[in-house]
Structure 1
Amino acid sequence: MESSTVVLYPDPTIGHLVSMVEFGKLIHKHHPSLNIIILIIPTHNHINKYIDTVSATTPSITFHRLPDDVVPPDFSKEHLDRAFELYNPIMLNTLVTISAKSIIKGVILDFFTNAAFKVSTNLHIPTYYFFTGGASLLCVFLNVLTFHKLKDTNDYFDFHGFPPFHASDLPPLILIERNISSKHFLNTSINMANSSGIILNTFTGFEERSLDTLRSGKCIPEGVTPPVYLVGPLIAGGEDQVDSTENECLKWLDSQPSKSVVFLCFGSRGVFDKKQLKEIAIGLERSEQRFLWVVRDPPPVGSYPGGKLKQVGVEGLLPEGFLTRTREKGLVVRNWAP
């Protein structure tokens, strides 16, 4: 009997990759006969170590590393989301090669790998999205087309499944700039609405208002909302450590009083400039609140996901003496915490 395969294509930043790996494990748990293949574009060394660890501990998942010579040396002048478009010919060849040996039951894309949607759908492969942002954010994201029609930036938005908010609360790259990035948001929103389904790392009871909205189809007034599947919470186990920072964070948290710590983490691409970081630091110090704060190093302007991070010491990003003054109540870690 011919084998069957599910292909996962995540963004290679750690927050997206870990969730996709955990979803791959969940698929295999319920359907052990399925082959799970995760496609990876070139990425950072600490993420490569994580991939190696998962490969050693979870043989049911196969990582297929895409070539590292696809993105030209001068690509830093372009937007990082364009990198995935450059990989589309490779993606096509990869899917054709896999399908020659096994039936591809589905391709599961990440928000940032949206460029591959036209590749998998042109091959008539059921294509799904694994959305890591939760149901409430998805309700907003499926309405990106509304933002692009906006004439007055003083407007308020009142979408089903999400509290009203002002236009100024949206990131400029969605609302104002109308650049490569805003086009990516729009195209991804449209493709998600036309996909075979959207998979969410959440669960009933956590976001009931938003989930009811998605299930009733109210998020897309002029179209049909695809099926929404809840698979959360997906959390990495201790056997798949990303790096030594994980132990440091957890040991520190275990030493704090219960329910006493504020966790500040803005995602794999949540990067702030020095001025913003110092304002956050001042607020934390004045609050006298216990905190765990993940501070990311700013990447080079226009870099793509596999680009090298600009290494900057945490001390040089924060107010002078901040780490010393807050060491009894706070912990600052670089780039990643579980």
Structure 2
Amino acid sequence: MEKKNPCIVMVPSPGLSHLIPLVEFAKILTHDDDELHVKLMIPTLGPPSSSMNSILNKNSLPPNITFTLLPQVNVEDLTITDENPQPATQMQLTVKHSLPFLHQELTSLITSTNHNILAILFSLFSTDVLDLAKEFNLLSYVFFASGALFLSFCLHLPHLDDQQQQHEHEQEESLLFHHQLTEKTTVNVPGCPVPFQVHDFPQPALSQRSTQAYKSFLGVCIKYSLVDGVLVNTFTDLEADLIRAIEDQANNRENTNSPFVYPIGPIIQSATSNQVNRLECLRWLDNQPPRSVLYISFGSGGTLSQEQLNEIAFGLELSGHKFLWVVRDPSNFGGSAYLNQQKEDPLRYLPSGFVERTKEQGLVVPSWAPQVEILGHGSTGGFLSHCGWNSTLESIVHGVPMIVWPLFAEQRMNAVLLKDVLKVALMPEKVVDNDEDGIVKREEIARVIKRMMEENKEGLEMRKRIKELSDAAAAALTQNGSSHKALSTLTKKLKCSI
């Protein structure tokens, strides 16, 4: 009988921030094992973007990693009932509507003569795939592209929901925070030494319990406890207490001899594609003094209002410090570009004369820049970031302290971790105060930039701490490192299932 190749099926959630780490993890898995195959089955809500095409370029993938773009789901078929749907809800429903296509692909793969499927591995909001894993009697794993902090919160959320249901007089109110609670109310997350305020949690968890956003998010969180394990893109020295707390929460599982959480990070892109913008960015950085440039980017989908865009521009100009700014079209919703491609020229939304006035001070790049190379460049001294987990890890790996500016999803939780627990970041005060118009003014922006970029005790301490984390990140991936050991434990379990 012909020998079948071991194969792992991976199903990312829609969005580059979920696809990128999953592809990078697939490369790690297959690097030292020529027999192992990875098959990516990718739910889609629209045609692939140029960035997605670049990530999935067959010339950049090893031959034992293949992919299938599932048929596009029509956004009008998602039947979203909430007035202001959250990206998480859209992602979860996109995967749910893709299940028939996934079933067909799995059936074809299983009946082929050359594949032996070991497990299905899926992203944060692809948990409906768990039903297919059970149907086909396959091991199931979540690839958690965020950190242990958010995972601990997700695992704790069903418990909080049970508590809420005990108070019938609070029905139809928010899960955690009804009208009697104030912005000063704090909630603890297992394993985190600092409490969180009301507005730090993801919006779906704060929605009324009757909304689709809340129900979908709770359903996703419940399914996390039903899988065979969770692979978290973090490392032990970064979130040790949180990782221990997650294991404690999982102690009631039937198979207590098998780990529930596998901290396998940091998994980041080693390099981005070679584009014109990249060459311009790096040439410009080559001519700047060491650690003199503040890099500003809000990730693959973060957007700002027109008013806030103006305030950042004037704040950069007022600070007098060098900057490299990735600008995107403005929007009143902070994640409007996450699942939608933008086609306009964003530079036309900047204040009149800004680019000309600051041409000796900074460089403005439309829509995209090679973030990994920029953060790894010696001229980059700080990162103003939306606190997406990919960006957070990239900044830590390259030892670049941050100015945190969270927009949506779990980014406010990440910001608290970076600022108050790890102490490697600053946050503009107006964001913390959550003022009525939600705008961080130019004077505050300039003040925080100066605190970050100028030589002072505070800045030196942050740089020392993030250098220590950078060293720990590198050590975690070595032969005897914590993440390498966690990955070895996982691969041994997978091979035992053959």
- TM-score computed with the length of structure 2 as normaliser: 0.58
From 106, 121, 124, the equivalent of 1:95 is 106
Q: Is the 8 A contact 2:297 2:325 kept in 1?
A: yes
Match of 2:266 in 1: 233
Give distance in 1, aligned partners of 2:213 and 2:134.
22
Match of 1:165 in 2: 196
Alpha carbons of 1:182 and 1:271: their partners in 2 closer, same or farther (altered >3 Å)?
farther
Give distance in 2, aligned partners of 1:12 and 1:73.
13
Residue 307 of structure 1, CA deviation: 6.4
Match of 2:22 in 1: 20
Moved more, 25-34 or 261-270: 261-270
- The alignment-based identity, stated in percent, is 30
Alpha carbons of 1:164 and 1:29: their partners in 2 closer, same or farther (altered >3 Å)?
same
- Secondary structure (helix, strand or coil) at the match of 2:176 reads coil
Give distance in 2, aligned partners of 1:332 and 1:197.
43
- TM-score computed with the length of structure 1 as normaliser: 0.82
Q: For 1:182-221, what aligned pairs fall within 5 Å after superposition?
A: 182-215=214-247, 217-218=248-249
Alpha carbons of 1:318 and 1:142: their partners in 2 closer, same or farther (altered >3 Å)?
farther
Match of 1:50, as an amino acid?
S
Q: For 1:1-338, what aligned pairs fall within 5 Å after superposition?
A: 1-42=3-44, 43-55=47-59, 57-68=61-72, 71-72=73-74, 74-75=76-77, 78=80, 80-81=90-91, 82-101=93-112, 102-145=115-158, 146=160, 149-152=175-178, 153-154=181-182, 155-162=185-192, 163-176=194-207, 178=209, 179-215=211-247, 217-218=248-249, 227-238=260-271, 241=273, 243-297=275-329, 308-337=340-369, 338=371
Residue 120 of structure 1, CA deviation: 2.2
Residue 292 of structure 1, CA deviation: 3.5
Give distance in 1, aligned partners of 2:279 and 2:13.
25
Residue 236 of structure 1, CA deviation: 2.4
Give distance in 2, aligned partners of 1:299 and 1:243.
26
- Secondary structure (helix, strand or coil) at the match of 1:38 reads strand
Match of 2:196, as an amino acid?
F
Give distance in 2, aligned partners of 1:138 and 1:251.
39
- Secondary structure (helix, strand or coil) at the match of 1:40 reads strand
RCO greater where, 1 or 2, for CA within 8 Å and sep 6 or more?
Answer: 1
Give distance in 2, aligned partners of 1:304 and 1:121.
35
Residue 167 of structure 1, CA deviation: 0.6
Moved more, 133-142 or 305-314: 305-314
- Secondary structure (helix, strand or coil) at the match of 2:67 reads strand
Alpha carbons of 1:191 and 1:51: their partners in 2 closer, same or farther (altered >3 Å)?
same
Count of matched residue positions in the alignment of Structure 1 and Structure 2: 332
The CA RMSD over aligned residues, in Å, is 3.4
Residue 76 of structure 1, CA deviation: 8.1
Residue 192 of structure 1, CA deviation: 1.6
- Listed as ranges, the gaps of 5+ residues in structure 1 are none
Give distance in 2, aligned partners of 1:89 and 1:305.
27
Alpha carbons of 1:83 and 1:260: their partners in 2 closer, same or farther (altered >3 Å)?
same
Alpha carbons of 1:164 and 1:279: their partners in 2 closer, same or farther (altered >3 Å)?
farther
Residue 32 of structure 1, CA deviation: 2.5
| Deviations 1:259-311 (CA, angstroms, capped at 9, x unpaired) | 3344433333323332333344344443334333333446999x999965242
Match of 2:33, as an amino acid?
H
Residue 28 of structure 1, CA deviation: 0.5
- Secondary structure (helix, strand or coil) at the match of 1:229 reads strand
Match of 2:63, as an amino acid?
P
Residue 252 of structure 1, CA deviation: 3.6
- Listed as ranges, the gaps of 5+ residues in structure 2 are 162-173, 372-498
Match of 1:336, as an amino acid?
W
Alpha carbons of 1:141 and 1:249: their partners in 2 closer, same or farther (altered >3 Å)?
farther
**Higher Cα radius of gyration:** 2
Alpha carbons of 1:41 and 1:160: their partners in 2 closer, same or farther (altered >3 Å)?
closer
Residue 335 of structure 1, CA deviation: 3.5
